[in-house]
Amino acid sequence: MSKVMIIGAGGVGGVVAHKCAQLPDTFTEIVLASRTVAKCEAIAAQLSRPVKTVQVDADHVAELVALLRAEQPLLVINVALPYQDLTIMDACLEAGVHYMDTANYEPLDTAKFEYHWQWAYREKFEQAGLMALLGCGFDPGATNIFTAYLAKHYFDEIHTLDIIDVNGGDHGYPFATNFNPEINIREVTADCRHYENGEFVTTPAMSLKQSFTCPEDVGTYNIYRMYHEELESLAVNFPTLKRAQFWMSFGDSYLKHLEVLGNVGMTGIAPVEFNGQQIVPIQFLRTLLPDPASLGPRTVGKTCIGCVVTGSKDGQQKTVYLYNIKDHQACYAEVQSQAISYTTGVPAMIGAKMLLEGQWLKPGVWNVEQLDPDPFMADLNVHGLPWQVVEEPGFELV
Ligand code: NDP
């Protein structure tokens, strides 16, 4: 018996629920818990088998502990927001439940994506004989595992890493985000940091761009260098890396809207007084923007996300590109979601499967690249995210 509790009923939570429901032998029972229970019920109504739905406020440890003790899942899949990571980890420790997530902890009042808060739980999880698996979405997640897979099978030593995340999808809105708007905007407006020669170098947000042509006719897009949380753990876990960078595609309309919203203060995270009430501009903006979970039916086009790694093998320098391409409408046909939630939810389901089936089960706090990439990579091919490897892809990156 392996009962799981999914916390968070947004775009990603919906995909995780669909994908877990497809594997009744692995996920024998599913509980879907979130702040707004109606969202859990709407997802449950789409599924091929019954799941239990529950209301929970994951900001409160005692409430979570009571729920975990009552339901007794083996594992919590946290796909709520990064703000809830630590309260859910605390509750898992207290109730004796394994933990996993897709995004690292971030305090509400500082836009700082860093692992140190969660890495500090290592000893506690080890002593409790429990596992916390961190960052198991696509990026972070599959991109870390792609790096580990290339390092294991194609290189003796890896030297540079460029993670390239292209969303060639179009939802038809002038401005919308493909995952939680607040988290997305905090991430995109942060200073850029990339890893070079043993340290992180800070540059202004969006100050370096280049053109990138995706394989398989996905198209040519402008990609911008930005900070992304997997760089932190990959720089630690692959100490031979001399440089690691993350690139994401953005359309001109998205960037123009973001610039204007930033200029007028709508992306701010500090509270302001309005009509005698404190409001946080970015939280108000979030309520005006389309819900990412609603973009599925109207998004067309493909995502192309992968890793370009250089390094040495048998004394020779080489370059290898490993990527996945996913069609937004194919995702919608399968799980009623666009490809950004799909490409996050599928790796989360596979990570949960690795843990429950024992291939990855190990007490402590682990980033995904520290575990054997092979069974995970095999499962990506089976569960909707097939990947390709191109040796010497022939493109030059900045
Ligand atoms: P959504 O905003 O669509 O969904 C978040 C869900 O969490 C909502 O159902 C929300 O409830 C619920 N929630 C928020 N706060 C609480 C709380 N205190 N207690 C219980 N439930 C709560 O976000 P997404 O589905 O787009 O993203 C989910 C997570 O996935 C985020 O952490 C995001 O950073 C991560 N992500 C990771 C990616 C990767 O590749 N690694 C890519 C994309 C996303 P309510 O409905 O009441 O607001």
Name the residue ranges covered by the structural domains of the chain.
142-337
What whole-number distance in Å separates Cα of residue 124 and Cα of residue 361? 16
Q: Establish whether residue 140 lines the binding site of ligand 1, counting it when its CB lies within 6 angstroms of any ligand atom.
A: yes
**Type of residue numbered 304:** C
CA of 124 to the centre of ligand 1 (A): 26
Q: Establish whether residue 245 lines the binding site of ligand 1, counting it when its CB lies within 6 angstroms of any ligand atom.
A: no
What whole-number distance in Å separates Cα of residue 145 and Cα of residue 347? 10
Tokens 């599959």 locate to 142
Which protein residue has the closest C-alpha to ligand 1 atom 4? Answer: 10
Tell me if the bond preceding 140 is cis, omega within 30° of 0.
Answer: yes
Q: What is the pLDDT of residue 6?
A: 99
Residue 217: φ, ψ to 5°: 60, 25
Single pTM value for the model: 0.96
Q: What is the DSSP letter of 82?
A: G
Q: Establish whether residue 325 lines the binding site of ligand 1, counting it when its CB lies within 6 angstroms of any ligand atom.
A: no
Q: What is the mean pLDDT of each run of 10 residues along the chain (398 residues)?
A: 94 97 98 98 96 98 98 98 97 98 90 90 98 98 98 98 96 91 88 96 95 96 96 98 97 92 94 96 94 91 98 98 98 96 98 98 98 98 98 90
What whole-number distance in Å separates Cα of residue 288 and Cα of residue 116? 33
**Type of residue numbered 366:** W
Dihedral angle sign, alpha carbons of residues 175, 180, 182, 184: negative
Residue 229 in tokens: 């949380």
Three-state DSSP class for 385?
coil
CA of 82 to the centre of ligand 1 (A): 8
Q: What is the pLDDT of residue 1?
A: 67
Give pLDDT tens digits for 231-280.
999 999 999 999 999 999 999 999 999 999 999 999 999 999 999 999 99
Q: How many CB atoms lie within 10 A of CB 142?
A: 32
Q: What is the pLDDT of residue 395?
A: 84
Q: Are 195 and 244 in contact (CB under 8 A)?
A: yes
Q: Which residues on neighbouring strands pair with residue 319, listed in sequence order?
A: 310
List Cα–Cα distances, 99 to 308, 363, 384, in angstroms: 30, 11, 24
CA of 217 to the centre of ligand 1 (A): 32
What whole-number distance in Å separates Cα of residue 344 and Cα of residue 90? 24
Looking at ligand 1, which atom is closest to the CA of residue 142? 40
Which protein residue has the closest C-alpha to ligand 1 atom 44? Answer: 179
CA of 315 to the centre of ligand 1 (A): 45
Q: Are 171 and 222 in contact (CB under 8 A)?
A: no
Q: Which residues on neighbouring strands pair with residue 225, listed in sequence order?
A: 247
What is the CATH number that goes with domain 142-337? 3.30.360.10
Q: Establish whether residue 179 lines the binding site of ligand 1, counting it when its CB lies within 6 angstroms of any ligand atom.
A: yes
Which protein residue has the closest C-alpha to ligand 1 atom 41? Answer: 137
Q: What is the pLDDT of residue 263?
A: 94
Q: Establish whether residue 385 lines the binding site of ligand 1, counting it when its CB lies within 6 angstroms of any ligand atom.
A: no
Q: Are 328 and 339 in contact (CB under 8 A)?
A: yes
The closest of 376, 341, 342, 352 to 146, measured between CA atoms, is 376
Q: What is the pLDDT of residue 182?
A: 86
Q: Establish whether residue 106 lines the binding site of ligand 1, counting it when its CB lies within 6 angstroms of any ligand atom.
A: no
Give pLDDT tens digits for 91-100.
999 999 999 9
Alpha helices in the chain (DSSP H): 11-21, 37-44, 61-71, 85-95, 116-119, 122-128, 142-153, 181-189, 230-237, 252-263, 281-288, 328-335, 339-356, 373-382
Q: Are 308 and 393 in contact (CB under 8 A)?
A: yes
**Type of residue numbered 36:** T
Q: Establish whether residue 34 lines the binding site of ligand 1, counting it when its CB lies within 6 angstroms of any ligand atom.
A: yes
